[in-house]
Chains A and B, each alone.
Chain A
């Protein structure tokens, strides 16, 4: 439960930190760290407007998305000390599918609108999600292989840095998770959240018809998703040392902050990829995950 609370707390400052970092690197004073949340509270006070062409799917999708993300956050353990609020054998599969379910509802809600632009965005989002999915499965499979456990909590408890394959796993999985979170959250180099041209949008074009309360939920969902991925990276790093609880909590928050700043720095110095190169970039990340998994298979003599 501790990690879920920390993830929720970190989600509050996450979007603001990214925006401030980007502003500082581009020589601007930038908004306050709390500005994204001022916007979200402003939107929460408003009602939602639904197009007459939409059905119930469009109305429930943002709520389902935020709900599944909150449930997914409950699965994350806190280092190797505390299990997640929900934990059972094979829970990592449900965790991955919960993330996919939220995305699925956002995609079909975009298709529900009937707009050509939103359909195009949904199509792109579905393609990139499909191509990046093997990466997270390979990371989890490698973790199962190294620990012999199938529960997220057990995996982090059993994991240690005794073998060279474990070191290899930590280095590569941090890199893959960083790229995975950027792709899943539709950030650079795949998508640009600041773009104003519908033809080049991916995630933003899918939520063009959402307004007021629903738009606020989409914003909260994005922040929460980032924080969940940051939490997983923090766990992977924290299991390397045995520290007192208060230090681990501080380092967990610190890693989340560093993660947000890293994303801000990456977005400041990285150009957006041309749309035709997006799919091959996403596939490369999955490819790296596959190569890592095969190498761990070899090292652990499972072949």
Chain B
């Protein structure tokens, strides 16, 4: 069953490539959060009640509900609905992004198989690396700060999945680190973003070049 969820996670990365609507991005983020919870629940062998609770809070509550709701509020408050509304918002077309995603996925599967390590779950690892690489590509090619935040969370989701790939139990330290990362990234970037749009009325990172002391 975990294979189906992993596959749906990979499909969600594909849909990230063609989305232009902020609501759809946020929906996909929430969907990924729920998928991660289900994957962790099925994939991890050694789970104590504390671990389940912690993972549920991290994935279901934070990644699945709180962060999407928070991002939705930010986008509503700043009237950001569609990234196409911003000039030169993206340097790469969705068509090429899909080809890039599939290529990355194929390469990671081939490389993963070369490892020939019984302790590593290849399907988890390849999807995780694809999420991390595509998250980085989304950040590089997009100029809108909202997409930067969303892409960062995609990378975090990839890291979470990677932690699942290399062991049957998920160390508490990794969980805490990811949760801390999310707090810092989403909350700080959210506050920063609100301030930025308040002053510049624009979501593009280009406006940062006009910042002065």
Contacts and interface: CB of A to CB of B under 8 A. Distances in A.
B15 interface: yes
A165 B14 contact: no
A283 B99 contact: yes
B188 interface: no
Residue of A284, A288, A290 with highest tally of chain B CB at under 10 A: A284
Contact of B17 (A168, A172, A284): A284
A288 B14 contact: yes
Nearest to A276: B93
Interface in A5-51: none
A67 interface: no
Interface size, A (range): 20 to 34
A167 B4 CA distance: 8
A291 B105 contact: yes
B44 interface: no
B132 interface: no
Contacts of A165: 3
A204 B2 CA distance: 43
B14 A298 contact: no
A261 B4 CA distance: 27
Contacts of A172: 7
Contacts of A126: none
A291 B95 contact: no
A280 B18 CA distance: 7
B131 to A, nearest CB: 13
A164 B109 contact: no
Contacts, number: 64
Interface in A34-91: none
Interface string A265-303: 000000000000101110110011011101101110001
A295 to B, nearest CB: 5
Q: Is chain B's binding surface mostly helix, strand, loop or mixed?
A: helix
Interface in B1-30: 1-4, 6-7, 10-11, 14-15, 17-18
Contacts of A303: 109-110, 113
B4 A284 contact: no
Given A168-B4, A291-B102, A280 B10 contact: no
B102 A290 contact: yes
Contacts of B110: 303
A292 to B, nearest CB: 6
B47 interface: no
A199 interface: no
B32 interface: no
Q: Is chain A's binding surface mostly helix, strand, loop or mixed?
A: helix
A240 interface: no
B123 interface: yes
Contact of A299 (B14, B101, B106, B123): B123
Given A168-B3, A284-B98, A298-B123, A291 B14 contact: yes
A298 B4 contact: no
A171 interface: yes
Given A277-B18, A284-B14, A291 B7 contact: yes
Contact of A287 (B1, B6, B101, B113): B101
Given A288-B14, A291-B102, A280 B95 contact: yes
Contacts of A290: 102, 105-106
Interface in A134-180: 164-165, 167-168, 171-172
A303 B126 CA distance: 13
B111 to A, nearest CB: 11
Nearest to B10: A291
Interface string A250-272: 00000000000000000000000
A287 B14 contact: yes
A167 B11 CA distance: 16
Contacts of A294: 105-106, 109
B34 interface: no
Given A164-B4, A280-B93, A280-B95, A295 B11 contact: no
Contacts of A168: 3-4, 7
B146 to A, nearest CB: 20
B122 interface: yes
Contacts of A292: 7
8 contacts: A164-B1, A168-B4, A280-B94, A284-B15, A290-B105, A291-B10, A291-B105, A294-B105
Given A164-B1, A283-B95, A303-B110, 20 more contacts: A164-B2, A164-B4, A168-B3, A168-B4, A277-B18, A277-B94, A280-B18, A280-B98, A281-B18, A284-B15, A284-B98, A288-B11, A290-B102, A291-B11, A292-B7, A294-B106, A295-B10, A298-B126, A299-B123, A303-B113
Closest 3 CB pairs of A and B: A280-B94, A280-B95, A291-B10
